[in-house]
Amino acid sequence: MFIGISAYSAYTQTYWVKRGSDGKEYYDTAEQIAAGKTITAEVPYAYRIALPWLVGKTFPHDLAQGFRTYNVIAAAASTALLFQLLLAFGIRPGTAVISTTLYVATWIGPARFVYFYPEYVDPPYIAIATGALLLIHTIRRRFSWSLVTWLCALCFVGAFVRTEAMLFPALSFVVVNFSLAGRAEGEEGERPVPAAAIALPLLTTVAGLFLVRHIHMEPRRVIGQEGFWQLLQNKPLFILPLSFFLTFGPVIAVVVYDWRLLRDMVAKHGYLFVFLGCCFATSYLGGHENERYLIWAAPVMFLLIAMALERHERALLRSAWVFVGLLGAQALAEHIFFPIPDYSLAVTDWSYTVTFGERAWGALNRLFVIDDFAWNLFSYFGSRPFHALLLAIYVAFSSLLMLYLWRIERAHPELRPR
């Protein structure tokens, strides 16, 4: 599954960004490491040194290929780890394959985005964070100091991959014993993690952050928070729900509909929602490309998606129209039919369109990003009117889907989750 979608993306994604935005800083860092020079890339990008160091040491003559190679490997690792995480939570193998495929197929996921934007460091972070959550779940059910040691090692290494973002799984572990459900209602074999172990991953992450800041560098610029408030003022609130739809697709409507599932998961596995909350807050507060940050929450979101699909599969499969409609809407949202266009392209200005066909094509291109207007894939950039229209379409589709589930499960109690 991963090999097929990855090969498909490599074949169809003929345009890729060279040294774009933060990618330029990672490339410069790798180039300076390869040449044995002092790192002068901008901070905080220069602190995310693990992947640029690896690329500079092993692909000194083809840095772009080095980033692409290691990020594809990391994407494959995150796919395998997500699948194992789903199985660890009791998801049936068939449902786990479906949910993992949704992760691999989405345009912003590392399996596909790497062929458009190879020079970035998120794929290794997603793999490490997914592995950390899998370890936390295992530790919670079957505590051992060796597993805690592995978690600490992941957190320490992750601090050199994506610096402060590695705090998210470490903070999740701090609340690993928190449960509103009570131990009697928890999973079989679950027992409290000793207090002496809880803070260790956080401490090792902080130690990694301290060490990476003491690597000799001469950054040409340190990016501060000068534009933070201006960024927030330019972010309309409607991009919060839109970013979820653009990242995970309309299938999240099934998760929203099953509020009991969300309630029970928060009660039993609050640490997962600490991680999700950190990723969500970063997506809105951390920069312009919300979806690039929100995909970090893939292990939690696709776990919830798998659970919701498994609980409502009989209702969804009862109507071929509903099933095919959801499948088609999800495929469009994941941009599976089209490669990501060149950023420099833009659809024809409305003032130059004359015929109905030209206007219709321009509207479709702005809504679904077929071969132009790539910035509309991101909720912060692109056309705000068309983003508002797209959100309205997502909300309308999701509302109809939830209404169908409510009516069919009310009329047929045997279809309700067991």
| pLDDT mean by block of 10 residues, the chain; 418 residues | 91 88 92 94 92 96 96 97 97 97 96 95 97 96 94 96 92 90 53 90 96 90 65 80 96 96 94 96 86 96 97 94 95 93 71 77 86 88 90 96 96 89
> Helix 63-88 and helix 122-141: axis angle, to 10°?
20
Structure tokens at 151: 């978690």
Q: What separation in angstroms does the CA of 184 have from each of 48, 175, 176, 188, 225?
A: 43, 18, 16, 9, 46
Residue 405 has a pLDDT of: 96
How many Cβ atoms are within 10 Å of 95's Cβ, its own excluded? 19
Which residue bears the tokens 């690329």? 55
Q: Of 310, 314, 290, 319, which is closest to residue 400 (Cα–Cα)? A: 319
Closest alpha carbon to 79 in 2, 166, 10, 26: 2
49 neighbors 215 (Cβ within 8 angstroms): yes
| Residue 124: closest CA among 172, 173, 162, 86 | 162
Q: What are phi and psi of 39, to 5 degrees?
A: -75, 125
Instruction: State CA 388 to chain mean position distance.
Output: 22
Cα separation, 55 vs 396, in Å, equals 46
Bridge partners, 39 (sequence order): 217
Q: What pLDDT does 228 receive?
A: 62
Instruction: Answer whether 104's CB lies under 8 Å from 143's CB.
Output: no
Are 134 and 87 in contact by the 8 Å Cβ rule? The answer is no
Residue 234 has a pLDDT of 74
Contact 151, 136 (CB under 8 A): yes
